[in-house]
Amino acid sequence: MKLVKNDDLIIEASHRVTEWLQSIWQLMEDGRIDTLQPLPRYSRRKLLPKTKVDEIVFFLENTVFQYEIDNYPVYHYDQQGLKQGKHELISPQFSQLSHTQKRALVEGYDRIMQDYRDPSDVAVAV
């Protein structure tokens, strides 16, 4: 997907995605992840087969989160109230979610990203 070429909007998108993923992590931490369900109807669902959902979850865990952990460890230790050297930072393990929960995560991510899609991008791929 081609995104808009506006740094302010890209930063906004990043904040919205981070907030969305944080809300899912919080559901996991609170033991309420079973409340995460995809929308009954999502217009782009046919573009998100199980393999694509798994691919996006893998990308979020192993690229986005790993980048954060590798580049901003002090921030993440502080945010989680952990002591450096005593604990290891790891991704939130979204890959362990049920397929339905992964679908809800990806559809939410996709909805956010569609708001920042370059209008000239006519491709339908996620």
The β-bridge partners of 117 are 3
Q: H or E stretch including 120?
A: none
Q: Which residues does residue 87 pair with via DSSP β-bridges, in sequence order?
A: 84
- Higher-confidence position of 125 and 115: 115
CA distance 33 to 98: 10
Q: What is the pLDDT of residue 77?
A: 85
Tens digits of residue pLDDT in 69-114: 888 888 878 877 788 888 888 788 999 999 999 999 999 999 999 9
| pTM above threshold 0.75 | yes
Share of the chain above pLDDT 70, in %: 96
Phi, psi dihedrals of residue 57, rounded to the nearest 5°: -60, -45
* Torsion sign across C-alpha atoms 103, 105, 106, 107: positive
